[in-house]
Structure 1
Amino acid sequence: METRQVREIVDNWFGAIGRGDMAAITAGLSPSIVLELPQDQWNAVIPYLGTHVGLNEVAEAFRIRAETTEVLDYGLRDLFVDGNTACAVVYTKGRHTRTKVLFEIEDIHKLVLNEQGKIIHWKVYFDPNTEVNAFNADREQRLFDAAARGGEAEVAELLGFGGDPNRRDADTGLTPLIAAASRGDDTLVRTLVAGGADVLATERSGQTALHKAAEQGSAEVLRALVRAGALVDAPVATTGQTPLHIAVRHGNTEAARILLESGARADLADHLGRTPAALARDLLAPEVVSGLFG
């Protein structure tokens, strides 16, 4: 094909992208089109990146991009043609549809055309930092919300995208780990611990994840937190109660047994002078007290 023809085809095709004309975009592609949008661990949060082969996969990438990005400005800034290969400099100003964060990027597109004037290979070279920032603007809040509702897969994904497992929720003051422990979700607790969650972090009253687990009563959560280094005798700043106090107060005898087996002391007094053993004698059946404290 002549250089003039390649230039005209590519120029018109980028115009179709700017208009969002999917019919014209698809018409310009070979059925065996290969689209390369390089993806790595740093930009994996952008879901339409990667290598796409064939019209269906490319169309799906466009669909996902349209769902996640509102294009405010788009234009072909420069175009170089050599034989059946074109290199284009393209500017995009967009806004992420969920976070509403603006970003600007300038990409280099390498296009190879076949003898029929269809694009058979399309590779994009870009610096995605501003777009990554737009996708990640609400990452920590999404991580907390997922932990609070038990969204294990989303938590794992967001941790993989660099989410901070120790960022506190502005409304509740809880960390994702404390929220997961409050739910009694041992799988989620292990996922967060493996992702760097601080087992010693406290919420506003001074309770750790272990205090919440003692209140909730999940044996597996308690074991996971103790294995991760949680302090079994950590006192709540406002009450002086340890996790063992709380387990006894809520009648969670299995939680109390696990804490005692993990080295929790039964003789530590809270701010009112009550020890876990004394609380147990007031609240639990004599045979339970005897089984726990002898």
Structure 2
Amino acid sequence: MGWIKGSKSHTHDSCHHGHSDHSHSHGPRAAAFGGMDLPVVPAFHEQFGNIADDTMDLSQQPKKRSHLDDSSTWDIVKASQFGNLDRCKELVEAGYDVRQLDKENVSVLHWAAINNRLELVKYYISKGAIVDQLGGDLNSTPLHWAIRQGHLPMVIQLIRYGADSSIADGEGYRALHLAILFQHMAIAAYLMAKGQEVDGPDCNGQSPLMLAAQKIIGPEPTSFLIKNNASVSAMDKVNRNTPLHCAVLAGNVDAAGVLLRAGASLDLQNANGHTPLDLAHQVHSPLLIYMLNQVQQERSRANSRCLKIVVKYRVALQFLMSTAIFGCLGAILDMNTDSWLLKGILLVCVVCAVSLATRNFPSEVFHSLLPSTGLMSSIFWMLVTWCLWFLPDGHSVTVQVLFTFNATALLYYYLRACRTDPGFVKATEEEKKMNVLVLAEAGCLDPSIFCTSCMIKKPVRASHCQRCDACVAKQDHHSVWTNTCIGARNHLYFVLFVFFLLLMTMWMFYGCLVYWSTHCVPRTENQGLLGVAFAVVDCSPWLLCILLLALYHACWSSFILVLQIYQIAFLGLTTAERMSLLMHAKKHGQSLSLSQNPYNLGVVRNLVSFFKLRCCGLFKPAVIDWTQQFAQGHDQRLFRPTDMV
């Protein structure tokens, strides 16, 4: 019977089965065909498989529509597939029993459910149809068929009429297991909100998390379940495999990484006494072996008191380390000696010391903090250079006051950008469940409004940040320089921080030029440009390092500042929104005017609102709490940014 009555493709004997059972299709889907919705019919699926309608050979399509339009000759199965309510009523009134199974052992309620015919389901149940009737080779209920097809409205309606989501089909899968296997996260969220246990076992004792790790390549379903409190230590009844065992046997590196970050144990043994690492050797996966060994080493080192201190104070320690490294490098280059061999040896020693010191650092934490701590140490040495090199030259009071103001503003706005909540959207567990139920029953449970990662209703202009693993109101981007998201509540501080950082680099340029012109320019005029350059390097290598450092920060800060001002003033958009719209236009081959959007209020009003300018009441900025702004209609979704991966 095609997909419905085909051979059983999902097995529970072990976790050796890969993603092939579920990676290609979620079953046949309804499509526009001959002016009507093409139903899910076994004959169609057997003939065309998963070929899309737009790729079908025209010669294989019906030559005429008259036969489809003439529904008076249809039997009740065909009428149910096409959703012809009048014909179905006619046949039922003529004596057809809606509980009767056809020659394929399937009821008309099954056909209405798989084709998402909501009115037909309502009518059949009013006429005595059994909502949990089993049918087909897979011995499935109408609810199972609707879940496989991803028909959330049908799932909602069947559950309203009393469908039991705990019933297992012929393969042992319950409703939540099917939703996860076919990656219908919205349906899975709805089932859990209705009380389905996230760790509920199927008939073979496997939890949805085990099936996700075993059969679905990619981290999303595994992450989704873990965020909804799925147990990473549960074991199946047959082989005593944990989700990590299943991921390793399936070669699912992404799922294994998610499970390890969630704290999955490396020491638990299955029924055969094998740990996940043992199984990784059995399946000959070098990547998994390396990953598991690395995690095992990090966890063994994590018990040391020294590493616990490092992790607890990692920001301060890495800042001190970055400051010390730069200071050592500059001091070595600035040594009053002509022996470059000695300087080279000392530089090698510094590099070796850094390598030894960072060997026990958790690599992920170390790399994520490197840009922000490097920036902090750069600012520190710029201030030190001004005080020790430039200040003694006796700059004017005006210069000193302006520099002091610049430095104070830079530190203030940097700390505010780092420490201020960017606008994380938060909700309690009860609020999350209520949001799922309300949105699902309103037909709004789609990615533009609902975040399946956070299980929350997303405000307008909110995006999910993969780095922060949270939804951020009016998210602009995740900044590596502040190691935090930039959103509605700290975007202003970030822009001002970048502005004052750019000014700080200008002060460094000014100070270096004044210092070199006073102390380093050779008295003879026959040296030429090359001679002047050598004289500058020989005079103060430290200042040359500071100049290069300032030049680096000036390049990226000026680019970001120009881009931010352009987006804020002329577009009224965030970086995430602009990138989303450009990607959407490129994907669909459309020309797009970014300035034509509902958030662009004009240059002046955009700047007034963003910088909160008032000027004695002359300006009135729009004060909006973007964490509480929710879409009222589908039209507002057109300019909602999609989640950035």
TM interval, shorter chain, is 0.5 to 0.7
The alpha-carbon deviation at position 66 of structure 1 amounts to 5.7
Specify the code of the residue in structure 2 equivalent to 1:226: I
Shift in Å, 1:212: 0.7
Query: 1:222 aligns to what?
Result: 222
Question: Residues 16-63 of structure 1, C-alpha deviation per residue, up to 9 Å, x if partnerless?
Answer: xxxxxxxxxxxxxxxxxxxxxxxxxxxxxxxxxxxxxxxxxxxxxxx8
Superimposed CA distance per residue, residues 225-253 of structure 1 (whole angstroms, 9 cap, x where no aligned partner): 22233221111111111110010001001
Match of 1:255 in 2: 255
Q: Distance in 2 between matches of 1:147 and 1:66?
A: 26
**Cα contact 2:232–2:263 (8 A) shared by 1:** yes
SS in 1 for 2:173: coil
Amino acid at match of 2:263: G
Q: Which residue of 2 aligns with 1:241?
A: 241
Name 1:67's counterpart in structure 2. Answer: 88
Paired letter, 1:260? L
State the percentage of identical aligned residues.
27
TM-fit CA distance, 1:68: 4.2
Q: Judging changes above 3 Å, is the alpha-carbon distance between structure 1 residues 131 and 277 closer, same or farther for their aligned structure 2 residues?
A: closer
Q: Supply the distance in 2 between the matched residues of 1:147 and 1:65 (Cα, whole angstroms).
A: 26
Distance 1:209 1:146, change over 3 A: same
**What is the one-letter code of the residue matched to 2:154?**
E
> Which amino acid letter does the alignment assign opposite residue 184 of structure 1?
Q
User: For the residues of structure 1 that align with 2:199 and 2:162, how far apart are their CA atoms?
Assistant: 21
Q: CA deviation at 1:278?
A: 1.9
Greater strand proportion: 1
Please give the alpha-carbon distance, in whole angstroms, between the structure 2 residues aligned to 1:95 and 1:138. 19
Change (3 A) 1:251 1:136: same
Give matches, 1:262-281, under 5 Å: 262-281=262-281
User: What are the ranges of 5 or more consecutive residues in structure 2 without an aligned counterpart?
Assistant: 1-83, 102-121, 135-140, 295-645
Please name the residue that 1:17 is paired with: none
Query: Shift of the alpha carbon at 1:168?
Result: 1.8
Structure 1: gaps of 5 or more residues: 1-62, 73-93, 102-127
User: Are residues 1:144 and 2:138 paired?
Assistant: no
**8 A contact 1:235–1:242 mirrored in 2:** yes
Aligned residues: 183
Preserved contact between residue 143 and residue 176 of structure 1 (Cα < 8 Å)? yes
Counterparts of 1:118-267 in structure 2 under 5 Å?
132=126, 134-138=128-132, 141-169=141-169, 171-216=170-215, 217-267=217-267
- Superposed displacement of residue 257, structure 1: 0.9
Q: Look up the match of 2:322.
A: none
1:71 is matched by which residue type in structure 2?
Answer: E
Aligned-residue Cα RMSD (Å) equals: 3.1
**Aligned in 2, Cα 1:136/1:233: closer, same or farther, shift over 3 Å?**
same
What is the 5 A alignment of 1:3-22?
none
Q: Spell out, residue by residue over 1:116-159, the C-alpha distance to the aligned partner (whole angstroms, 9 max, x if none).
A: xxxxxxxxxxxx9x964714534781101222343333223323
- 1:48-85: CA deviations, max 9, x gaps? xxxxxxxxxxxxxxx8366247236xxxxxxxxxxxxx
Q: Name the residue aligned to 2:499.
A: none
Tell me, in whole angstroms, the C-alpha distance in 1 between the residues paired with 2:86 and 2:229: 43
Instruction: Report if aligned partners of 1:186, 1:220 keep a CA contact under 8 Å in 2.
Output: no
Q: Which string of whole-angstrom CA distances, capped at 9 and with x for unpartnered residues, describes residues 65-115 of structure 1?
A: 66247236xxxxxxxxxxxxxxxxxxxxx765x3349xxxxxxxxxxxxxx
- Return the alpha-carbon distance in structure 1 between the equivalents of residues 147 and 219 of structure 2: 19
Task: Report the TM-score, using the length of structure 2 for normalisation.
Answer: 0.26
In the TM superposition, what is the alpha-carbon distance from 1:178 to its structure 2 partner?
Answer: 1.2
Distance 1:99 1:293 in 2: 57
Instruction: Give the Cα–Cα distance (whole angstroms) in 1 for the partners of residues 154 and 191 of structure 2.
Output: 12
Question: Cα–Cα, structure 1 residues 133 and 200, in superposed 2: closer, same or farther, change >3 Å?
Answer: farther
Larger helix share, 1 or 2: 2
Cα distance in 2 for partners of 1:289, 1:157 equals: 47
- Secondary structure of the 2:93 match is strand
Give TM-score, length-normalised by structure 1: 0.53
Name the SS of the counterpart of 1:158 in structure 2: helix
Equivalent pair of 2:131/2:162 in contact (CA under 8 Å): no
